[in-house]
Amino acid sequence: MTGCRRPAFPMPKFFRKKTPAVVFGLFLFLLVLFAFGYLFLAQLPVLAVASERGPVLYLPLAKGETFSLTYVHSVQKTPVWENFSLGEG
């Protein structure tokens, strides 16, 4: 045969035909890859607590989630609880 060479690395038979299982497997792989990329690269809202020296705490919050701050009032010397939630805006 002239002009017809055998490939150095022949493809496995599994990849030669575009069977529904191969197409579905490739689709599923790409879907999982996209989902992981979205989860790890998406910007999530966080509460950032900082001092003069820099960030102290990052607390991830979901929409509607609540958190509380507790401290002692400097003048009245009584405990104070403040409740906050993440909302629109």
The low-confidence residues of the chain, meaning pLDDT below 70, are 1-4, 7, 11-18, 89
pLDDT at 83 (0 to 100):
93
pLDDT at 60 (0 to 100):
84
pTM of the entire structure? Answer: 0.42
DSSP annotation of 11 reads P
Give 3-state DSSP helix, strand, coil % of the chain, rounded to 5: 30, 30, 40
pLDDT at 5 (0 to 100):
72
